[in-house]
Chain A
C-alpha cells in the first residue's frame, strides 16, 4: 500500500505557524480528499443524473429529486424511518441513563469491569447480534417457547418478529452502547458536590435529575443520539433480517436496493439527499452544543 512514512515535525518547540502542520497533514488530507470527499461529491452528482436503460446518462436533470418528493412512497418510507430512528434514540437515552449514572457515580469497585461490559457488545459481531433477535422473537423462537412453557400465553405470539416492533427492539439493543458511553463520560465529569448541593437544598431525586443532571448531560445526550440516529437512518441489514418487508420498509433498504438490485444509482443518490440533510442538521446542532469533542485538546 502507499502508506507514507511517518514524517516527524522538523521544528523544535511547538511552532505556531501553519507550515509544519501542513507537512503533517498532507498525507491524511490527500487521502481523505481523494477517497472520501471526491467520492461523496460524485455520489451527490449522481442525484442529478438519470438512468438510460442500463447506463447512467450524465445530463443534468431534476427528475430524481422530483420523484423523491412527489412519489408518495418515498416521503412515507422516510417518515417511517424517521419515526423509528427517533423512537430508538429516545429509548436508548432512557435506557442509558441509569446505567451511565450508576457506573459514573455509584460503582466504585467494579467500575472498570462495568465499563468494559458496556463496550464489549460493540466488539462482537453486529450481524450476529441482530440475527440473535430473530432466534429470540420467532413464532417458535425462544421468547415464545418460553412464554408457552411458563403458561403466560397458550398460543405463540407472531407479533414479535417481522414487524416494526422487532426492528425497534433490535435497533435499541444493538446501538445502546453508543448512547451509554458519551452519557457516562459527561456524568462522570459532574462534580458530586453539585448533586449533593441540590439534594441539600431539598430537591428530591427527580428534581435533581431534571434541574441538574439532565441539563448538564445535554452534550452527551446529543453525541450519543447522533450516533444512534445516524446508524438507524442508514441501516439496511437489520430490516431485511428482522422486518417483514423486503428490507425496503426503511429508507436504508430502499437506497441499498437502488445500488445493489434495481441498478438505479441516480435515484439512490437522490434518496440519500434527504438523509444527508437530516443528519447534517443534527450534526450542526451537536457541533454547536460541543458534543463532537473540542477542536483543541488540553
Chain B
C-alpha cells in the first residue's frame, strides 16, 4: 500500500471535496487509508480513535493471503505444500455465488480479501468497481504454457490489460442419486418433474436463470442475453418449480450433504460436488442434459488493495503450474488451462475432462458471462424463490 505523505495543502484540498468524491477517490486508490485518517483527524472527527485506524495496517503485514473462493480451490493436497514453501498462510472463505464474492470484495473497498476466484461473469463487475489490480503476465513463469485462448480471454482483459489468471473451467451438470432414479435424466426438465417433488434441490444463484432459459422454446441463442419476455418465461418455470424444491442451496458442501442424508435425489451441481458425495460413500452420478449446459471459466483476480501483491501473484502462478493444475484435476475434477500439463495427461483422462480438443469442447458450453440487465435477473430470482 502506497504511503505517500500528504502536505497540509492536500488535506485542505481534500476537506473541500464532497464526501462522496473523497470516498470514490479512496475506493479507486487515488488516496490511501492513511490519507483518509489524516483527513478525518484534520476534520476533528476521529482524533480520539486514531489508533484504531493506525493499528489496522499492522495486521495486514503478515504473510497471510486472504481469499474468497469457490469450494475446493484451496484443497490441502496442493495448498499446504505451497504454504510451507512460501512460509505463507492461506485463509480462504467459501462463497455461495459470484454475487457474494462481489459484495465481499466491495465491502471495505477491497481490503478484506487479497484474491478472488472469479468466474467468467464476475471480473467485469469487479473491474468496473475499481477493485482489481492489473496483472503483469511477465511475472508469471507458467503463463506461456497456457492455451492461447486462456491467456488473455475477454472476460479478464479490459482496455487490453490483464486482470486475472485463468486456471480452471467446467460445466454445471445435472446430479442425481442412481439408487433412487434408475434411468439417467436426459433433460433439465427432470428438475421440474413432479415425481421427485420434495426431493429436488437447486443452486440459489440468479445466474442459474441462464440454465433454466435452456428450457425455453425457442431456446434463446445466448442464454445470458434475455429480454424481458424471456425472463418472464423463465420466471414461470421457476415459480412452477418452487413447490417441488426441498432446498435452495448456497454451497456445494451443503448440497453434497443433502444427497448424503437422503434429503434430495436430484440437483444441479459441479464435478467437485460429485467427488464430495462419492468421497463420503454416497451415491451420485453426473448427467449432461440434451439442452446443453452452462459452465464457468475461473480466474484468480487480485484486489487492488491486496496486502501482499507478490504473494498473490506467486499463488496465481502456482495454480497455473503443474502442482496447482494437477491438484485441481485431482481434488475437483475440473478442466484446466495449462497446455503443457494437459499434454502430459493420459488420453483417457483427457477425454473424461473434455480436454482432447479444448477449444471445441469449451465452445460447447454456454460459459457464464457478464449479464447487462443483471439487476432484473436478481429481481426475477428473488420473486420466484421467495414468494
Contact = CB atoms under 8 A, between A and B. Distances in A.
Contacts, number: 82
A125 B129 CA distance: 37
A79 B250 CA distance: 25
Given A246-B385, A263-B99, A58 B20 contact: yes
Interface residues of B, number: 34
B247 interface: yes
A259 to B, nearest CB: 7
Nearest to B27: A55
Contact of A246 (B50, B52, B262, B386): B386
Interface string B278-321: 00000000000000000000000000000000000000000000
B246 A162 contact: yes
A254 B382 contact: yes
B382 A139 contact: no
Interface stretch (A70-78, A82-90, A99-107): A70-78
A240 interface: yes
Interface string A237-279: 0001000111111000110010111111000000000000000
Contacts of B385: 245-246, 248
B248 A246 contact: yes
A192 to B, nearest CB: 51
A167 interface: no
Interface in B3-35: 20, 24
A54 interface: yes
B121 to A, nearest CB: 14
Interface in A159-189: 161-162
Contact of A261 (B99, B246, B263): B99
A199 interface: no
A1 interface: yes
A158 B246 contact: yes
Nearest to A162: B247
A128 interface: no
A280 interface: no
Contacts of B375: 51, 264
B48 interface: yes
A5 to B, nearest CB: 13
Interface in B98-113: 99-100, 102-104, 106
Contacts of B383: 71, 73
B49 A261 contact: no
A158 to B, nearest CB: 6
A203 interface: no
Given A2-B49, A139-B263, A245 B97 contact: no
Contact of B106 (A244, A263, A264): A263
A244 B386 contact: no
Given A53-B128, A76-B387, A244-B245, A261 B103 contact: yes
B52 A244 contact: no
Contacts of B262: 139-140, 156
B261 A263 contact: no
A1 B52 contact: yes
B235 to A, nearest CB: 12
Nearest to B104: A260
A254 B99 CA distance: 14
B233 interface: no
Interface string B90-126: 0000000101101110100000000000000000010
A73 B386 contact: yes
B51 interface: yes
Contacts of B154: none
Contacts of B220: none
Given A53-B128, A260-B100, A263-B106, A77 B245 contact: no
Given A244-B246, A246-B248, A246-B250, A2 B52 contact: yes
Given A261-B99, A263-B102, 5 more contacts: A141-B261, A156-B262, A244-B245, A246-B386, A262-B378
Interface of B: 20, 24, 48-52, 97, 99-100, 102-104, 106, 125, 128-129, 198, 204, 245-248, 250, 261-263, 375, 378, 382-383, 385-387
12 contacts: A2-B48, A73-B383, A73-B386, A140-B261, A244-B245, A245-B248, A246-B204, A246-B250, A247-B250, A259-B103, A260-B103, A264-B375
Closest 7 CB pairs of A and B: A246-B204, A246-B248, A248-B386, A2-B48, A261-B99, A54-B129, A73-B383
